[in-house]
Structure 1
């Protein structure tokens, strides 16, 4: 059963849970309102009228493209990001030892989006900031039921729920993994951002965490 990181209990030591090496998978899963409406329309529960209502609702909703990423600061001071934007998918067996498996553009992918972190190289990491943002679609996270789960090779799980989203917030710093007294500590952040016109959301988040990263416009 996953350990849920909450406001009351926001941090956990990976080492104290026996997670000191191997791979840890970070999964982002969410429910697209349009995908739910489409399933209801196909199911046709409640008769023809309910099916027509569900079909009409589905036609008015947009798919939500929610992206998972990781900003990384290394022990030697270097830094990079792993994300779908700019095709910066990373690699597990070489620098940056973090990789994104896919870009789920609708929320319909059963496996969601997954980042894999190679803890065999954890001594190289200083900070890993997990974040998510809406690339396209809904204006904020409300109603998406977004959940991030970190699962080790041994099966230990840690969960962060992206709840309490304020209106119009379309980006979230999920969790900060940092080296502390020789071990990696996972800390729940769930810090919401509502960038206006100007710097991109990655720039706003990296500035808030003083990661010293420089950004250029990108597409996917």
Structure 2
């Protein structure tokens, strides 16, 4: 059996076939990890040596706010059913029943080592037409710069497919990360890293779904 591999999806090499990696069933774990300015400042304060170093680091951390990134997945099924899995509206989904995708936690600070995680059940991939992974700032910092956000998709046997959310423009408050869809008979992951700013319009989920012509209807939600 082939050894698990790690693939970075980049501008130069933006797509990868899951079929060619033998990832055709089981679970895909999608992890979002980032470091908020507040968490970074607090870590620096903890690592500072000496009383005055700790005081200076603590003062630097005081005005820095936490940032809450939310990971989600817009789902277009082969029967044209449309839905979303996200923390907003408590739409956490389910792994073993429709929509066969679930969000397992809502990391509101960026301080959790595990970050936020989605699970996709590939045993039901025949029901998926398009899966659009996205992330947006629910609360806190104005854009993604300096957050070092990275999304990693990991198969049951350990294959890793990584997307770095880099080259963030000023004021970008949302990002379409990657699209999973069937292409030429194979299930592929395609890097998107398409940024959205407030100028693109209100209602970030609606803006993203319209940009990808998913035809979804949105209502206000809370978490």
Same fold? TM cut 0.5 = yes
| Residue 181 (structure 1) shift | 2.7
1:165 alignment counterpart: 168
Segment drifting more, 48-57 vs 146-155: 48-57
Is residue 133 of structure 1 aligned with residue 136 of structure 2? Answer: yes
Question: What is the deviation of 1:39?
Answer: 1.6
The answer to whether structure 1 residue 182 and structure 2 residue 174 are counterparts is no
Q: Which residue of 1 aligns with 2:21?
A: 17
The separation in 1 between residues aligned to 2:45 and 2:184, in whole angstroms, is: 54
| Aligned with 1:39 (options 21, 43, 49) | 43
| Matching residue of 1:77 | 80
1:57 partner SS: helix
Partner of 1:4: 8
TM-score, with structure 1 as normaliser: 0.97
Q: Distance in 2 between matches of 1:17 and 1:136?
A: 37
Unaligned runs of 5+ in 1: none
In the alignment, is the contact (CA less than 8 A) between 1:25 and 1:151 conserved in 2?
yes
Q: 2:159 aligns with which of 138, 156, 159?
A: 156
C-alpha RMSD of matched pairs (Å): 1.1
Deviations 1:19-64 (A, max 9, x none): 000000000000011111112212332x322211210121111111
2: distance between equivalents of 1:197 and 1:117?
29
Q: Kindly indicate whether the alpha-carbon contact (under 8 Å) linking 2:200 and 2:207 is maintained by their aligned counterparts in 1.
A: no
Cα deviation digits, residues 124-171 of structure 1 (max 9, x gap): 000000000000011000000000000000110000000000000010
Comparing 159-168 and 55-64, the one that deviates more: 55-64
Is this contact kept in 1: 2:135–2:177, CA < 8 A?
yes
CA displacement, residues 62-82 of structure 1 (integer Å, 9 cap, x when unaligned): 111000000000000111000
CA distance in 2, matches of 1:219, 1:57: 32
Dislocated runs of 4+, deviation >4 Å: none
Shift of 1:197: 8.6
The separation in 2 between residues aligned to 1:79 and 1:109, in whole angstroms, is: 31
Number of the residue aligned with 2:109: 106
Preserved CA contact (<8 Å) 1:70 1:82:
yes
**For this pair of structures, how many residues does the alignment match?**
219
